[in-house]
Amino acid sequence: MKENNPILENVDIEQITADEVGDAHFGSSELTPIRKDAFDLSDSEKIETIQEHFAKIMETLGLDLTDDSLRGTPYRVAKMYVKEIFHGLDPKNRPEARTFSNGYDYSDMVIEKNIQVTSFCEHHFLPFIGKAHVAYISKGKVIGLSKINRLVDYFSRRPQVQERLTLQIADALSEAMETEDVAVFIDSKHLCVSTRGIKDTTSSTITSEFRGAFREKETQQKFIDFIKAETQF
């Protein structure tokens, strides 16, 4: 899923400046770009290394790390990166998508809506926060509803772009359910848009992926009507 970016056409990637790369936002694969040696270090080793580097960033900015309020910040940030907001990078943290036989022969769509999405834009490492709506039509299997939420959270907890996140959730659900009849719809606000650059605080970004039966106009519209419907909760 390689994007064509006019900023980079006919340009030697090694010669462009950091600002040009930052503004380009060119895409890569549907897979998260992870190095082969990504898991050679233990979590504790990663925390130690990130702590050292983040302390250097803070010092470079002119902050006094001997201050009581700032002294523990490098460690807190490092631990947060490894154990919390980016824990979805490590395959060992992937939730088990356990499925069961559809013994009651339910044949209509199952929708899990308003799933909290908290992820981080890989271009600026700022959060984007919103809601995911996910659906499938059983081909003989059902899945525990909380497993869908956990899959969304797992793929969200890594540096992301919303388009890739949408596809990764669809792939994981389709694989677990052994069906192409899946739909994913995400609506989120990006802090890299609202807090920097254009500083637009009102816009949101919508991405969707419709597969199998959800490509049919009637089924797709039914899904959209359901996620738009007001609920008591």
122 is catalytic: yes
Annotated catalytic residue: which of 51, 133, 160, 192? 192
Annotated catalytic residue: which of 87, 123, 180, 220? 123
121 is catalytic: yes
Annotated catalytic residue: which of 25, 30, 87, 124? 124
Annotated catalytic residue: which of 51, 133, 168, 190? 190
123 is catalytic: yes
Annotated catalytic residue: which of 121, 133, 160, 209? 121
Annotated catalytic residue: which of 160, 162, 168, 209? 162
Annotated catalytic residue: which of 25, 30, 122, 220? 122
Q: Pick from 207, 100, 193, 108: which is nearest to 152 by CA?
A: 207
192 is catalytic: yes
Kindly list the catalytic residues: 121-124, 162, 190, 192
